[in-house]
Chain A
Amino acid sequence: MHIPDGFLTTRVALSLDVISAAGILFAARRARIDLSDRIIPLMGVLGAFVFAAQMLNFPVAGGTSGHLIGGSLLAILLGPMAGFLTMATVVIAQALFLQDGGLIALGANIFNIGAITCFSGYAVFRLFKGKSGRDNRLAVAGFLAGWFSSVISSAFCALQLGLSGAVPLQIGLAAIPGYHMIVGVIEGALTAGVLGFLSRVRPDLLDTNGAGRFRGADWAGALVFIGMPAVILVLAGSSSLPDPMEKLLIASQSHVAEESALSGIDFLISGTIFTLVIVTGFLLAFIWRRRSRP
């Protein structure tokens, strides 16, 4: 779900722009990518791969069509940091080429489709893959990573739309992730299928490029992934203090500006908690990395 401009209040959109920009700078630094390394053209080509794969729609029963988001797949192949950078590029390109997603909403889209899918997908994958690396484990972990990342990412999309008052929070949270729970099966199946194919044909690509390269970030990813439901709960709790419907009714009588001020506070709270979760995650990862270094 690429959010176009106009559906998020300026405040929500701009805060996410800042968060995403910081995320990109952080990932670029943390991934420690040597610009002369072969990963540079690889990230570019895999970005093009995801872009092309997203355009390869194929019909699903009921007239809708499904395609690969690819965030979790990229994170598994390239590691979460390089994967996130690549997905961020894809999202920017989609806004610039196809006007899929807005310009001011770019931060929100990078956050949902880039950061959330990559980090949650990667964390789930590592969690379920285990050490054995047997084919069926790989498939199960890949499926769960794809499915979960797609659902969580859509939940964040719904959350932002709700906070902006474009779609009532309850309706959004029911409809958008609900839809993705179904469509996510395709994402999961394709992620698992591609991983399975790679492990049969070119297992070396799975060994050298993804797993084990950014081990510290596993923890960060896992924490973000655990933190998310917490944030959602807190959010749902804080916004239901005055009934959201009631609040929206009040808001609809006055200006959008006031409405965004109301949701701005909610956003500030959730944003702070979320940032804290991420920061703790990265701190832990950093300490863990330090310790594991001989």
Chain B
Amino acid sequence: MWARRFGRDERGKMTEYAIRITRLNYSYPDGTRALQEIDLDVRTGERVAIVGPSGAGKSTLLLHLNGVLTGSSPIKIANLNLERSNLQQIRSKVGLLFQDPNDQLFCPTVFEDIAFGPLNLGVPAEEIPARVNKALRECGLEQSIGSRSSHHLSLGERRRVSLAAVLAMEPAILGMDEPTSNLDPRNRKRLIELVSRLEVTLIVATHDLGFVLDVCSRTVVMDRGKIWADGDAQTILSDTRLMEEHGLEVPLPLKAETRP
């Protein structure tokens, strides 16, 4: 379990990098250049935030992590080159949480939604209920929610069910797209606590810089399909000039620190 989560390769050697992206380019079918010369290495167990204005290419980058989109150059996930032949294997390692839970919860019941991933990975049917219940527990949800339909849930619950659906696949790498958008303060806090406890390599695209400060140690600034800065979260987020150049704002806690 431990070994798989932290991505040892076949020979038992610890793989240093969970994600290696070199000179990745991607254009949409209509010709818009969404990603330009992206270089990004993420160490195993690291928690990285990708910040930047809307339309910067953050979500597009996340979709490359498990091969839903494929750009110009190959990506390495836990020392594996992402190729057509090992897509299924990669997708079992990389879980993606989408911005709108309605996109992610497409089954008639919560149980079926959480079981969808494991069943696709070939987990035997007898083990499914245990997997689903474990994922629900991890996300702080009651077991009885399983028989309900997603449209009867609140947004906060839906977001946690989506996370449970991803965690049920037991990914080593978790990509999240705007996990706190539209959440009320209580649900947001709950999600932050939940995410902080997870033992995965985390890569989060977000506008919520408070969330970044609480959860992530490293921050990447993205804008117009390019990476502009990459480093320690505190340092980058308190760089007023950099933040304003890319349509962001220095978060309040950091502003307070600079005051006399």
Residues of A within 8 A of B (CB): 41, 44, 204
Contacts and interface: CB of A to CB of B under 8 A. Distances in A.
Contacts of A204: 30
A41 B30 CA distance: 22
A41 B106 CA distance: 9
A2 B30 CA distance: 42
A-B pairs, 3 with minimum CB distance: A41-B106, A204-B30, A44-B106
Contacts of B30: 204
Interface in B122-167: none
Nearest to B106: A41
Nearest to A44: B106
Interface of B: 30, 106
A49 B30 CA distance: 26
Contacts, number: 3
B156 to A, nearest CB: 24
A51 B168 CA distance: 32
A41 B116 CA distance: 15
Contacts of B106: 41, 44
A118 B106 CA distance: 26
A251 B106 CA distance: 51
A204 B106 CA distance: 26
A42 to B, nearest CB: 12
A44 B106 CA distance: 10
3 contacts: A41-B106, A44-B106, A204-B30
A168 to B, nearest CB: 43
A204 B31 CA distance: 14
A59 B30 CA distance: 40
A67 B30 CA distance: 35
A204 B29 CA distance: 11
A57 B4 CA distance: 55
A44 B103 CA distance: 13
Nearest to B30: A204
Nearest to B29: A204
Contacts of A41: 106
A44 B30 CA distance: 25
B45 to A, nearest CB: 33
A16 to B, nearest CB: 28
Nearest to A41: B106
B96 to A, nearest CB: 16
B146 to A, nearest CB: 22
B116 to A, nearest CB: 13
A282 B231 CA distance: 63
A153 to B, nearest CB: 29
Nearest to A208: B29
Nearest to A204: B30
A51 to B, nearest CB: 14
A96 B247 CA distance: 50
A41 B105 CA distance: 12
A65 B21 CA distance: 57
